[in-house]
Chains A and B, each alone.
Chain A
Amino acid sequence: MTSSATTQTIDPLPLAGARQEALREVWGQTLVELAADYPDLVVLDGDLANSTRADIFAAAVPDRFFEMGIAEQNMVGVAAGMATLGFVPWLSTFAAFMANRALDQVRIVVAQPHLNVKMCGGYTGILTGKTGKTHQSVEDIAIFRAMPGVATIAPADAVELRSAMRAMMETPGPMYLRVTRDPSPTIFPEEYEFRIGPGVLLRDGGDVGLVGTGVQTTRVLEAADLLASEGIAASVLHLPTLKPIDAGAIVALAERTGRIVTAEDHSIIGGLGSAVAEVLGEQRPTPMRRVGLRDVYGESAPNEYLIEAYGLSAGHVARAAREVIERA
């Protein structure tokens, strides 16, 4: 999968005083909105509806909500069977289980036959409500990105998530969607329209190119503010689609800045950092740093602690930017 679409340029809303919205709530509400337009949309749940907020859908559209119990492997197979009849199943479980517990099922009956199943991973990254490493997800991007034909999408905020879900519904094919648990700032204006593939340039600066995905992009914007206060002009490229990746945007960013820093709430192995390094390694070798989990699993702790301890904070991103500027 390669992206040929054009990179968008968007002025983000200011972080100070930004509206805080939990993506999981928006996910549940958006499913209800989509159900009104798409009679073939169904939701299958792995007994986590009140965590993923599929319960919002279950209450509003009960005849298209199907509880599958704690049996993710079967849930994926049922979804594949329903997809052959023209239904569009959206799956409700945690990213850790979507990517790991049902991996072979995803591979055999969704990815290989390229069926129209929308695989949603709730509770992505490590900010999962003090659940610890078993329920955190630091390798899901790597797993889904490696699967031929599976689009991999990580929206930054409520506006982008809502738009991305409509795009996913309008576009047939297997897709994986990352959905975070806790409230995060809304950075996109209401009129923003997500498209599968293209990156979004949120800020232009010539000293360093910062690349984010998912809600981590909001912390990247924060890092750009920090750097600006030190006189460093950073570009910020948001890549809501990990696959197909917007290689053109990455190369253009490298050409403009000469230095790249990636930031993700995921392992730096196989995730955004790897995806960007793959593009640059082949097309425009550029000094870079990858910020994220450094080949470790997380732990159960408050978010503020985890953000600092596992390399997610704006400070970590800014530090990596300074490093790459000094050494390149």
Chain B
Amino acid sequence: MAPGGAPLPGGYNGATMPLGPAKAATGMKEHVAMTVDAASERANQAQSRPSLDELRRTSAEARKLIVQAIHHAGAGHLGGPMSAADLLVALYFDRMRIDPARPDWPGRDRFILSKGHSSIALYTVLAMRGYFPTEELMTFDAAHSRLQGHPDMHALPGLEMSTGSLGQGLSPGAGMALGAKVRGDAFHTWVMLGDGEIQEGQIWEAAFMAARYGLDNLTAILDYNGLPQFGWPQRGGFTREIPIDDPGGKFRAFGWNVLECDGHDHASIREALDAAQAFTGQPTCVVAHTVKGKGVSYMEGDFNWHAKVPSDEQLASALSELDDQIAAIGEEAAA
């Protein structure tokens, strides 16, 4: 199960560990629910997947809500949520096995937003997917809101882990994937990482352990937008450097399967996420090439929009630009 097929010193060593359903289910509280899940899962998979145009439209609508929520809250992050929007839409509208009506369904796929400061993007996609009313997005960061500045797993349905202190999301994801292996559960665990936060050492502790246990039911998606909050000064220059070169190579060196995609192209994202889930033997890292602030021209690629609130004029301009993009999707479809 581990890279190289060496037996693991720990209790779980893949092939030799008794993982049969009867044993795995013994005493497990969620066992009864699992049989109900089978029907739900079949229903889920029978649904046809959305068209790429539908995903594009949903992404643009999500970006409009994100910009509006941040403008309304007068605080929050924008650049990262905009770069992550297409990936989150792809996960929640296309790839993940979920049931928004039953956020605690034991068989659901798990998603952890390790880059917790992009919370508004996740909240927006959860609301659009039906976990809670989209009107609630306008309570972001307000007192008593379920939409905390960084995700609080107990505050809002659909959140699987509390995050915010960077570099911590991959480890709980590995724990969920390991737990699923132990019990013989079929769900997949997805973790979105920021490229800035993979400077944290814990990411590589988790990467080593996940590969060691052969957690092929775990996928890390790297939002590789190249721009952290302030960044490393370019050696000998005045612009900002990307925080980490060749992240794919680094994950590969830790024993991961590595895929690349264009994080703003739904065809490319779908192909990568499908391949990641299908891959066996090792965890997969999808390096998604993205643009910080994607979708609004004056934000794109500008690190100053990491956590900046748009003015009324900037909001109007952003919404108008996103409306144009939505209109263009319709034209393409008609053509």
Contact = CB atoms under 8 A, between A and B. Distances in A.
A71 to B, nearest CB: 4
Interface stretch (A72-80, A151-159, A179-187, A285-293): A72-80
A74 B179 contact: no
Contact of A68 (B177, B183, B209): B209
Interface residues of A, number: 38
A108 B165 contact: yes
Interface stretch (A82-90, A166-174, A238-246, A311-319): A82-90
A71 B170 CA distance: 13
Contact of B205 (A40, A58, A71, A112): A71
A233 to B, nearest CB: 50
A208 to B, nearest CB: 45
Interface in A79-125: 79-87, 104-105, 107-109, 112-114
A107 B150 CA distance: 14
Given A86-B30, A109-B162, A113-B162, A74 B10 contact: no
A85 B179 contact: yes
Interface string B196-211: 0000011001101100
B153 A113 contact: yes
Contacts of B205: 69, 71, 73-74
Contacts of A63: 11-12, 17-18, 182
A78 B175 contact: yes
Given A78-B209, A82-B178, A39 B28 contact: yes
Interface of B: 8-12, 17-18, 26-30, 152-154, 160-165, 168-180, 182-183, 185, 189, 201-202, 205-206, 208-209, 212
Given A74-B206, A108-B162, A58 B11 contact: yes
Contacts of B12: 63, 66
Contacts, number: 128
Contact of B174 (A67, A77, A109, A112): A77
A82 B179 contact: yes
A113 B152 contact: yes
A65 interface: yes
Contacts of A76: 171
Contacts of A66: 10-12, 178
A74 B161 contact: no
A292 B103 CA distance: 50
A78 to B, nearest CB: 4
A28 to B, nearest CB: 15
Per DSSP, chain A at the interface is helix
6 contacts: A40-B28, A58-B11, A63-B17, A65-B10, A83-B175, A85-B179
Nearest to A77: B171
A62 interface: yes
Nearest to A85: B179
Given A39-B26, A63-B17, A69-B209, A77 B176 contact: no
A64 interface: yes
Q: Which 6 A-B pairs have the closest CB atoms?
A: A77-B171, A81-B175, A39-B27, A81-B172, A74-B205, A71-B205
A62 B160 CA distance: 28
A77 B212 CA distance: 16
Contacts of A38: 27
Contact of B202 (A62, A69, A77): A77
Residue picked from B168, B176, B189, most chain A C-beta under 10 Å: B168
A225 to B, nearest CB: 46
